[in-house]
Amino acid sequence: MSTTPPPLPPQDGPPGPPPVPAPPPVPASAPVPEKPRALFASCPTCGSQVTYAPGTTVLTCGACGAEHPIEAGDDTSVDEHSFDTWMAENAQVKVASIGGQVLKCQGCAAEIESIDLAETCQFCSGHLIALTAPAGIVAPEAVVPFGVPRKGAQKAFQEWIGSRWFAPNALKKVGSTESLKGTYVPHWTFDANTASAYQGERGEHYYVTKTRQVSDGKGGTRTETYQEQHTRWHRASGHVSRAFDDVTVPASQRLPAKRLDEMGPWKFETAVAYQPEYLSGYSALRYDVDPQDGSTIARKEMRDVIDDDVRRDIGGDEQRVHQVNVQYARVMFKLVLLPLWLATYVHAGKQWQVMVNANTGEVTGDRPWSVIKIVSTVLAVLAVIAVLVFLFAGSGEGTASP
């Protein structure tokens, strides 16, 4: 990262399913927006920088306390874009081959080159927000603004700590103010209409009465009847259809995908059209998972749901699925920024990370185990058992016949 200091001074399968019903046409020229723009950066009252206030639609000034409403941009709609159209024009584009961009500090005018959408100035701790998107980069279409403030995140985290058994005392320090970092993490969302043809078998259980010899408990045997389960299999084939909406795929590999998945579900009804003001005071990562890779992951998730649909359609007591031919139509996608409070701490020479969903308050993360607490608990339990055994043995001797 290069920096410039502030100026001085300043599949093969069965026959295909019937065609998916034709949806309303998608405008062929629906472009992915390329130039996010900053609309409001400093307080007109005192000139200090403003920060987005979680759970509101205002920017607040940390110096004078003034509040300034975020004015809606020219386009307030959250649009999805044709994935097939994007692939036809950008199939060879890889985000890894695209360099960074120059971010200019809204406070001291320092410039740095970064791949991220927003971060903090190393010179004055001011806000650095991307004003343009490099060619080939998909710009955010929507943002779910921070809804949980820092204090709310601290409370949620402390409650999470309180429910962790055998956690080391060092874990309690992670909820401190300076440990939490507000970050927007990019995610892809995919929509699709699917129609699937399948072939398989439906299994129906039936029972046969049989007999066997069992012990009678007196040294002999007795005859017992029992029901033995069998299955009749019948060929099955058919079609199922399903429409998917907002299948969400993490678009950044800088955070564990498993943890990001645990952060859901998100309240997408709170999403708004992307405006840079919502990034003021927070960091925002650029995606490093290409749309085509995100689509592959999303289709796998869709396929898991479709497989369940197929089994339900086959019915019976058991199912065997041999082939499923899925057709995807009207595949749409968008890039949305989702809010997280992140805490990273070091314990026993290892880094641990905790995430707080700044949209719902959900908490997840890695946690260490306190060996001292575990050993102490085990020893305490063993001591209690030993005392009980001693008391029981003593009681038995005291009541023994002479």
Average pLDDT over residues 16-30: 48
Out of 54-63, 128-137, 313-322, the most confident range is 313-322
Give the integer Cα–Cα distance in Å for 223 and 201: 37
Average pLDDT over residues 279-302: 96
pLDDT at 26: 43
pLDDT at 232: 97
Upper half-sphere CA count for residue 336 (Cβ side, 13 Å): 28
Note the pLDDT tens digit of each residue in 205-227: 999 999 999 998 888 899 999 99
238 pLDDT above the threshold of 80: yes
For 222-239, letters b (16+ CB in 10 Å) and e give eeeeeeeeeeeeeebeeb
Select the more confidently predicted residue: 127 or 319.
319
pLDDT at 110: 85
Average pLDDT over residues 42-53: 86
CB burial class (10 A; 0-12, 13-18, 19+) of residue 208? exposed
Confidence category of residue 34, pLDDT binned at 50, 70, 90: very low
Average pLDDT over residues 342-349: 77
Average pLDDT over residues 70-82: 86
Average pLDDT over residues 46-75: 88
What sign does the dihedral 109-110-114-116 (CA atoms) show? Answer: negative
Average pLDDT over residues 264-285: 93
Residue type, 131: L
pLDDT at 372: 65
Helix H or strand E segment including 335? strand 318-347
127 pLDDT above the threshold of 90: no
pLDDT at 394: 66
Average pLDDT over residues 21-42: 48
What is the average pLDDT value for the chain, to the nearest integer? Answer: 84
Global pTM? 0.79
Note the pLDDT tens digit of each residue in 193-208: 999 999 999 999 999 9
Select the more confidently predicted residue: 108 or 241.
241
pLDDT at 14: 55
pLDDT at 75: 77
Percent helix, strand, coil in the chain, to 5, is 25, 35, 40
pLDDT at 28: 39
pLDDT at 36: 43
Confidence category of residue 391, pLDDT binned at 50, 70, 90: confident
Backbone phi, psi, residue 240, to 5°: -130, 155
Average pLDDT over residues 89-106: 88
Average pLDDT over residues 369-386: 71
Contact assessment for residue 334 and residue 142, using Cβ atoms and an 8 Å cutoff: yes
27 pLDDT above the threshold of 80: no
